[in-house]
Amino acid sequence: MAASMASQAVAKGLRIATSKHILLDKAKCTWLSPRRWLNLQEYQSKKLMQESGVAVQRFYVADTASEALEAAKRLNAKEIVLKAQILAGGRGKGVFDSGLKGGVHLTKDPAVVGELANKMLGFNLTTKQTPKEGVKVKTVMVAEALDITRETYFAILMDRSCNGPVMVGSPQGGMDIEEVAASTPELIFKAADQIKRLYDLFLKVDATQVEVNPLGETPEGQVVCFDAKINFDDNAEFRQKSVFAMDDMTEADPTEMAAAKWDLKYIGLDGNIACFVNGAGLAMATCDIIDLHGGKPANFLDLGGGVKEKQVYEAFKLLTADPKVEAILVNIFGGIVNCAIIANGITKACRELELKVPLVVRLEGTNVHEAKRILTESGLPILAADDLDDAAKKAVAAIKK
């Protein structure tokens, strides 16, 4: 069975934190928010690059229009680029609720920087990757604008199949990395030096990706990283405290934050059947089967590998807090998951939260017989399911009923 658009979004959200608010036509659902990983603003990534000796444009960060004006004057550049700092892409074509069009502007007049910043800061910027209401801009980056004579895409990625990092140049078919600075031997050495510094940064910060788009050559013969996105290994937080301390939480969804506190992975969909699962594969399967039976998946919470009773209770609190949820489907399958702990957490949550929506539970794994006994003897109106197909049918039927 082909994976539905909704299940693909669930899988993607459980793996990475990239674009948000993608329309899922087939399942009539909107992907509201993925599992949150470390997110840095553009200027923060550039700061890390700068600290590692990577060549970037000179820049300042401003929180007020007057600070932006002063920054533009200090740059003393021929041309200045002003960029709104939000975590979503597509800023250049975005629109502010102040009426200003575009979150990226070029000018040769520092005074214009102040005027533009005044229409950016404190206003919402809406792009293809933001909510409909946009995201409030609290910071702008004021940078020196440089001409680019030639450019290419360059990235260092962690490739698990190769058991280490790999380098990628121009996946879109442009110049390959050897051509970036092929005009003179001096530029070849400069390009090689920048690549080495990017590689050192990749290792230093426990990155899973360092993407530069573009890596370009200027008319003055410099090789510069003009824009960058860095993804990090969340498991390295214990040794990358200074990097993770930079995490910009201002745009985080409160539900994502609350879920992460209990080591739960959250995916938001705009359906009406909330799902509590263990593992990305199971999340995809659950989404597909619900869709197959005419239902619409709502928010997902993924336990991953481990489980504690308190986690289950907190998961139910988050699931039931969504007013769109009309039923909850629990689908736990796997050898290491202690189903008895799941069952105790479910019964505790049902009683203390006074669950008002239908609850369908499918459990398979360690202590599953004890778990089923706990649910049966609880006296609670819990619908037991034999398998995922049965569970999805009962959840959809409960809503229709």
Binding residues for substrate: 278, 335-337
State the burial class of residue 97 (Cβ atoms within 10 Å of its Cβ: 0-12, 13-18, 19+): middle
- In sign, the C-alpha dihedral spanning 42, 131, 235, 288 is negative
Number of Cβ atoms within 10 Å of the Cβ of 133: 9
Q: Specify burial of residue 144 (Cβ count, 10 A radius: 0-12, 13-18, 19+).
A: middle
Rounded CA gap, 103 and 121, in Å?
11
Q: Side chain identity at 337, as an amino acid letter?
A: V
Task: Give me 145's structure tokens.
Answer: 């604008």
Distance CA 309, CA 55 (A): 50
SS3 387: coil
Identify the H or E element spanning 327.
Answer: strand 327-338
Q: Report how far apart, in Å, the C-alpha atoms of 334 and of each of 98, 304, 387 are.
A: 52, 11, 13
CB distance 8 to 291 below 8 Å: no
Contacts by 387-390, CB closer than 8 A, 24 or more apart: 387/362, 388/285, 388/286, 388/289, 388/331, 388/333, 388/362, 389/289, 390/362
Q: What residues contact 103, with CB distance under 8 A and at least 6 apart? A: 83, 84, 86, 91, 92, 94, 96, 120, 125, 127, 137
Per the CB < 8 A criterion, the answer to whether 282 and 363 are in contact is no
Residues involved in catalysis: 153, 211
Residue 30, beta-bridge partner list: 23
The Cα–Cα gap between 10 and 394 comes to 22
């510094």: which residue's tokens? 197
Instruction: Could you list the residues known to form a binding site, using ranges.
Output: 57, 90-92, 146, 213, 227, 278, 335-337
Which tokens go with 242? 């200074």
Asked if 84 contacts 125 with a C-beta cutoff of 8 angstroms, the reply is yes
Burial of 239 from C-beta contacts in 10 A (0-12 / 13-18 / 19+): exposed
